[in-house]
Structure 1
Amino acid sequence: MTTSNPDLSTKAPGYSNMNVVNDVEKGSDLGRELTNSALASFTWSDVAVTVEDRKTKKPLQILDSCHGNIQAGNVVALMGPSGSGKTTLLNVLAHRTSALKGKIQGNIMMNGQVVDGSAVRMVSTYVEQEDAMIGILTLRETIDFAARLSMNGEISKKERASRVQELIDAFGLQRQANTIVGTPLRKGLSGGQKRRLSVASQLVTSPRLIFLDEPTSGLDSAASFECMKFIRQVAKQHNLIVIASIHQPSTTTFQLFDQLLLLSEGKTCYCGAVSDVQPYFERIGRPIPIHINPAEYLLDLVNSDFRQREESAENSSGYVQQAWMSSQDHKTLVSSTASAGGTASLSVKLPARKNTLAISWVLLHRNSIKSYRDFIAYGTRVFMYFGLAIMMGTVWLRLSYHQSSIQPFINAIFFGGAFMSFMAVAYVPSIIEDLHNFNKERANGLYGPLPFVIANTLISIPWLFLIALMFSIITYWLGHFNPTAGSFWMWVLWLFLDLLAAEGLVVLVSSAVPIFVVALAVTAFVNGLWMSVGGFLVPMGTLNPFWKYVFHYIDYQAYVFQGMMVNQFRSTTWDCARESASGGYQCMYPSDLQSQGKIRGTAVLQAYKYSWSDSKVGEWIGIMFAIILAYRILGYLILMLRKH
């Protein structure tokens, strides 16, 4: 039996029907269909959250017996002082509780039926307080990529473009359609426009239920009003349910809400229509003064941090809580939520499984736009590596093939490989921006870790190859390294593998600790470790066994150094110094050419105990590919295991 509501037939821009159906239990008559366009009510009852107090280690209730009942088309303000439980309640209602270490109780219902997390997530979207967006994309591109990721190729490009334009028009963003979101180096949208864009890009996923975490955070009163006005208009026009946690709205912004849920110390102080706020607080003896912002007055009234010590119990927030619990309004609300609940557990009939390759292609397209527009992503590193190449090429300029230049050549090989790797830390801010955006899109059900890792890996390959080629063209010929085409391209290969491994390390560390300063520090530390145990600064015969057997053999810089050493010394010869007294030769490295006043380059490799056979070089290349792949797989597993 289909549950329908003629008042909910209007479709939002870009909205499509999505079915939410009951699990069909054996022997039961459950099976009625709840269509996405028929979400008439969203209800919760007896929602409570208990955690362990960090100091006393005793149970601490941060949310206590919260009830609510919202009809389609309503916008609800979730208000309370800091620490009152607003964000906790919002996350519980949205089923974002993985980071909440505690016991959660209560029922959450849609259209009077108890639902699970998958059902809520399929018909809802969550707009976080922080605007996690790709700064270099334009406003139109941001919404379009959200549409491409959510619609899974279900509609044509023309229809998708039409829906994107409808959303732009609905939020009054026509003039900013081709303006970039904004980066640290390039100014883009204003704060209010970003907040509207955040909501618009989430609406393209066709939600019927929207959770907003501090949508007016960081905005002035005028921008806050405009932002909430647009949200209200969309909710009314398309019968959406909007629940927004909000801190101290202006009077005009407060009046845009249909309902208010006021919390203090995890307890409800009021839950009902905004239009009934004034008469209710008059009834309990706490009338809102004339010419006072109602929101400010209410927040001050229930704020226990500063008032409880100074005033009597009758004037404390506890009085307001007790007044609500004993009021007829509370009893009516509890009765309505209790009668709404059933025992059936709704779950979602999932749409067609998203194609991993198709999603990866969309992400790759988005990454490609970012990579050539965003100076921070790759432009900074191109500039840095170009400067390093000029410096290295001119410092080690036209070295001779005399034995006095052997050590400078070795130093140049170590410096080039190690610092190319170390400078990959410049990628940290870019990948952290991508990870924050990924976490937001993943939490809203757009895609998982695999497409993200595939797209991130593929976009890096052409850029890193170009960087390796540019660096090599400058340094290799200025430094007078082995002047053959084969040796040059082998040098390029080693630098390319070096950069691939270094970037994989950055992605791995940033995935584990997506905090800019921490990721930067850890990546720099690991690169310093690789330099220390690579076999150049401390010879392998001297290196402590612990560092040798635990770290040296997984050090990709060690294999790059070995490979580049073989590339330089395997087929070259060096002039020895002539002794003035005897007329003979004094060679730094003994070899079979010593009588001719020459040093065979393989003698240098013997001193470092490096094999120079093709099979050994091939083995090192294979190990490099294994390390590169391991970094990417480990990064994927971290993202996979991280709860969202």
Structure 2
Amino acid sequence: MAPPSDSTDVDRGYNDKKVVTSDVNGSSIDVEGRAVAEAHLMNTTVRNITWTGVTVTVKDRETKQPKTIVENVSGIVEAGEICALMGPSGCGKTTLLNVLGSRPVGPTQKVEATVLVNGHKPSRNAFREMSRFVEQEDALIGSLTVRETLDFSSRLATSTKSLSKKERVARIEGLLETFGLREQANTLIGTPIRKGISGGQKRRVGVASQLITSPKILFLDEPTSGLDSAASWEVINYLKGVAKRNNLIVIASIHQPSTSVFNLFDKLLLLSQGKPHYFGPVAAVSEHYESLGRPVPLHVNPAEFLLELVNIDFSLDRVSAAQRLEEMQAAWAASHRAEQVATAIAAATSQTTSHSRSPSPGGGDNEEVVEKKPSLPGLTITLLHRSFVKSYRDVVAYGIRIAMYTGLAIMMGTVWLRLDATQASIIPLTNAIFFGSAFMSFMAVAYCPAYLEDYTQYVKERHNGLYGATELIVSNFFIGIPYLFLISLIFSSISYWLSNFQPTATAFFTWVLWLFLDLLAAEGLVVFMTSLFPSFVISLALVAFANGLWMSVDGFMVPPTILNVFYKYVFHYWGYQKYVFENMMVNEFANRVYSCATTADGCQCMWQTDLADQCLIRGQGVLDQYGYKPGYMGKDVGIMMGIIVGYRVAAWIVLKLKK
């Protein structure tokens, strides 16, 4: 396959973004100079990325004392090179990668680092625009096809005003061809229920979905984790080819590569206990360790040999092993190659932005196409479209819930079957109202896994600067409305008439309304709790607990007239189930009359109302024991809308506050 030229869609970068820069000493420069540096930095191919003095200190969990996990690490990677970060488990690879990728590194006490691109320090936002980060467990939506995954990634990153549909398709087709995914283009990524592409292909899709935005620097955390040697070689080989053809800088942490995979990398940064032991060409690493009197044995995987050499976790004599490690680290720091690295970094950082634009073959500047990011409405519509595709393909999202609620409706309708308008049916009708409303909201916990997938995808795409919390919350809310209304209508159509609630169209659609509001509030609770604690077990437990609390204080278990003051004012009034249960009770009993029991001794009415002399019970008599009166439906709908919006706003705040 012929490599794409620099003018193809695959190679277009970000030219309309602004970067705040500083000089090599970190001091601010004048506004005009900053603008010039910014324009040059963003309108040219990135030549290199350098990092010096990277040191990360955390608080030790046991001793509570500062502990350095990455110490004084420096390096430089040129355009078109692929660099491996390698070392034993716990050596600081991922932490270093996060620092280089301008990502959170955890609850650190101190992070010291100078990371420059083309000799300049870009702002955080600008760096996000020119770089992409692929997680070890890359979040992909299993119900999308490979082509759709790339298409949505492109639409989230670039405005339709920047790329026409034809250009977008050309870019996607180019990546499918480049990564060998053309035959799998219309295959699903795969879900726990539906089989999809292989693990190696998923890794390639994850990388391709980041390259669709034409980044200039790509960071990968353990891209070969969980893959066999053949699949690992396949992934790294594709990365190497893409990097060479497109002048892309690739930096990847890797655990224990095979010999063939190891030899694909251009450069190696070897870490042990957070300190550098080697940085330079992979081809020269054997020469370096031979100079230390530790040559790589023949017919031995050099990567395995190096990892065993710098790993002291399993040494019988830890003191001697630690001393040997310190000697090797000191030897590296004093080596000629370490001096070469320092010289190369100094040369790169001394270059000015006036040299950052390389001449084109025609002799003029190599101008790149300006690509604008989508607007908030555009991003929201794209997310809505993606969520819609997911919702009708992934049965876990709504299909199983529709089936579950349908089964629940049949069960409820057949248990509370054709209840007569007699006093013997009043308590069963009340129980049915509670069951229908409370359990419908309680079973919203089934939405936790579907939202967790959306949340994981959001975290990845937010870190890459594609969209924020507003777009996620708004699109998530609107995509659920038609499905939740459909669920409410199906459940009500079955259970309402089987149980013989008040048989009028007005009463039926009022019931549907309150059930719909109930589900909207319950799903909002799921979104809030899962955003707060994005763990399936924890979010499930918290949502179940909260719904159990609302069920206890909604007025059914203990009537509001005798509910103790603490629960009444702290939980009862802002529990959404309270308003659902109350208005469903009013809907059933406010305008209905029930016959009393007749015995040999005459009429026996359990509720005494003004119709007792007619051997009838006015439904308001039932409501009086709860303190319910009609006429407050409009106000209660407003309160429910406030609760529904409140949960979404709370989830938005949680997402905004999270780093």
Normalised by the shorter chain, which TM-score bucket? over 0.9
Aligned to 2:648: 632
1:206–1:638 distance in 2 versus 1, CA, 3 Å: same
Aligned to 2:91: 84
Aligned to 2:282: 274
1:79–1:36 distance in 2 versus 1, CA, 3 Å: farther
Preserved CA contact (<8 Å) 1:234 1:240: yes
* CA deviations over 1:370-422 (Å, ceiling 9, x no partner): 11111000001001000000000000000011101100000000000000001
Secondary structure of 1:176's aligned partner: coil
Matched, 1:620 2:636: yes
* CA deviations over 1:127-156 (Å, ceiling 9, x no partner): 000120111000000000000000122211
Preserved CA contact (<8 Å) 1:308 1:316: no
Report the Cα offset of residue 335 of structure 1: 3.0
Task: Output the amino acid matched with 1:408.
Answer: P
- Paired with 2:154 and 2:398, the residues of 1 have a C-alpha distance of 27
Aligned to 1:398: 418
- Paired with 2:504 and 2:103, the residues of 1 have a C-alpha distance of 60
Specify which of 245, 254, 268 is matched with residue 237 of structure 1. Answer: 245
Preserved CA contact (<8 Å) 2:55 2:112: yes
Matched, 1:432 2:452: yes
Preserved CA contact (<8 Å) 1:36 1:208: no
Report the Cα offset of residue 206 of structure 1: 1.1
Matched, 1:300 2:308: yes
1:345–1:632 distance in 2 versus 1, CA, 3 Å: farther
Secondary structure of 2:180's aligned partner: coil
Aligned to 1:609: 627
- Paired with 2:30 and 2:181, the residues of 1 have a C-alpha distance of 51
Matched, 1:371 2:391: yes
Preserved CA contact (<8 Å) 2:98 2:105: no
* CA deviations over 1:80-103 (Å, ceiling 9, x no partner): 001101001100001102634221
- Paired with 2:46 and 2:331, the residues of 1 have a C-alpha distance of 32
Preserved CA contact (<8 Å) 2:379 2:471: yes
Alignment of 1:437-448 (within 5 A): 437-448=457-468
- Paired with 1:216 and 1:12, the residues of 2 have a C-alpha distance of 28
* CA deviations over 1:292-333 (Å, ceiling 9, x no partner): 000000000000211272573587322221211121111221
Preserved CA contact (<8 Å) 1:9 1:37: no
Aligned to 1:595: 613
Specify which of 591, 606, 610 is matched with residue 571 of structure 1. Answer: 591
1:634–1:13 distance in 2 versus 1, CA, 3 Å: same
Matched, 1:250 2:258: yes
Specify which of 8, 15, 18 is matched with residue 18 of structure 1. Answer: 15
1:210–1:273 distance in 2 versus 1, CA, 3 Å: same
- Paired with 2:522 and 2:234, the residues of 1 have a C-alpha distance of 46
Task: Output the amino acid matched with 1:356.
Answer: L
1:90–1:596 distance in 2 versus 1, CA, 3 Å: same
Secondary structure of 2:112's aligned partner: strand
Secondary structure of 1:260's aligned partner: strand
Question: In terms of mean alpha carbon deviation, does 328-337 or 424-433 score higher?
Answer: 328-337
Q: Specify every segment of 5 or more residues in structure 1 that has no aligned partner in the other structure, as ranges.
A: 1-6
Aligned to 1:515: 535
1:514–1:17 distance in 2 versus 1, CA, 3 Å: closer
Secondary structure of 2:75's aligned partner: strand
Aligned to 1:70: 77
1:474–1:313 distance in 2 versus 1, CA, 3 Å: closer
Task: Output the amino acid matched with 1:497.
Answer: L
Aligned to 1:526: 546
Matched, 1:261 2:294: no
Secondary structure of 1:34's aligned partner: helix
Aligned to 1:4: none
Report the Cα offset of residue 354 of structure 1: 3.6
Report the Cα offset of residue 75 of structure 1: 0.3
Secondary structure of 1:276's aligned partner: helix
1:358–1:16 distance in 2 versus 1, CA, 3 Å: same
Matched, 1:481 2:505: no
- Paired with 2:499 and 2:330, the residues of 1 have a C-alpha distance of 81
1:250–1:313 distance in 2 versus 1, CA, 3 Å: closer
Preserved CA contact (<8 Å) 1:363 1:452: yes
* CA deviations over 1:536-580 (Å, ceiling 9, x no partner): 111223322111110000110110000000000011100011241
- Paired with 1:434 and 1:628, the residues of 2 have a C-alpha distance of 20
Aligned to 2:564: 544
- Paired with 1:326 and 1:402, the residues of 2 have a C-alpha distance of 95
Matched, 1:140 2:147: yes
- Paired with 1:542 and 1:35, the residues of 2 have a C-alpha distance of 68
Preserved CA contact (<8 Å) 1:86 1:263: yes
* CA deviations over 1:424-448 (Å, ceiling 9, x no partner): 1111000000000011011101111
Secondary structure of 1:229's aligned partner: helix
Matched, 1:180 2:188: yes
* CA deviations over 1:568-626 (Å, ceiling 9, x no partner): 00111000112413x3x21111111100000001111111110112xx11111111111
Preserved CA contact (<8 Å) 1:22 1:344: no
Preserved CA contact (<8 Å) 1:47 1:66: yes
Q: Specify every segment of 5 or more residues in structure 2 that has no aligned partner in the other structure, as ranges.
A: 22-27, 355-369
Question: In terms of mean alpha carbon deviation, does 17-26 or 401-410 score higher?
Answer: 17-26
Task: Output the amino acid matched with 2:141.
Answer: I
1:345–1:517 distance in 2 versus 1, CA, 3 Å: farther
Secondary structure of 2:313's aligned partner: helix
1:337–1:426 distance in 2 versus 1, CA, 3 Å: same
Specify which of 154, 159, 168 is matched with residue 160 of structure 1. Answer: 168
Specify which of 524, 535, 547 is matched with residue 504 of structure 1. Answer: 524
Task: Output the amino acid matched with 1:203.
Answer: L
Specify which of 470, 473, 481 is matched with residue 461 of structure 1. Answer: 481
1:252–1:519 distance in 2 versus 1, CA, 3 Å: same
- Paired with 2:373 and 2:199, the residues of 1 have a C-alpha distance of 36
Secondary structure of 2:270's aligned partner: strand
Provide the aligned C-alpha RMSD in A.
2.1
Task: Output the amino acid matched with 2:539.
Answer: A
Preserved CA contact (<8 Å) 1:450 1:636: yes
Aligned to 2:24: none
Preserved CA contact (<8 Å) 2:14 2:371: no
Report the Cα offset of residue 9 of structure 1: 4.7
Aligned to 2:405: 385
Secondary structure of 1:341's aligned partner: helix
Specify which of 192, 200, 203 is matched with residue 195 of structure 1. Answer: 203
Preserved CA contact (<8 Å) 1:22 1:345: no
Preserved CA contact (<8 Å) 1:308 1:317: no
Report the Cα offset of residue 531 of structure 1: 0.4
* CA deviations over 1:1-40 (Å, ceiling 9, x no partner): xxxxxx9956562624525655594477452312354211
Aligned to 1:3: none
Report the Cα offset of residue 338 of structure 1: 3.5
Secondary structure of 1:401's aligned partner: coil
- Paired with 1:27 and 1:427, the residues of 2 have a C-alpha distance of 50
* CA deviations over 1:209-245 (Å, ceiling 9, x no partner): 0000000011000000001000100001111000000
TM, length-normalised to structure 1: 0.95
1:198–1:326 distance in 2 versus 1, CA, 3 Å: same
Task: Output the amino acid matched with 2:393.
Answer: R
Secondary structure of 2:251's aligned partner: strand
- Paired with 2:482 and 2:45, the residues of 1 have a C-alpha distance of 48
* CA deviations over 1:477-529 (Å, ceiling 9, x no partner): 10011000100000100100000001111111111111111111110111100
Secondary structure of 2:190's aligned partner: coil
Matched, 1:38 2:54: no
- Paired with 1:458 and 1:511, the residues of 2 have a C-alpha distance of 17
Aligned to 1:224: 232
Secondary structure of 2:55's aligned partner: strand
Preserved CA contact (<8 Å) 2:70 2:274: yes
Secondary structure of 1:113's aligned partner: coil
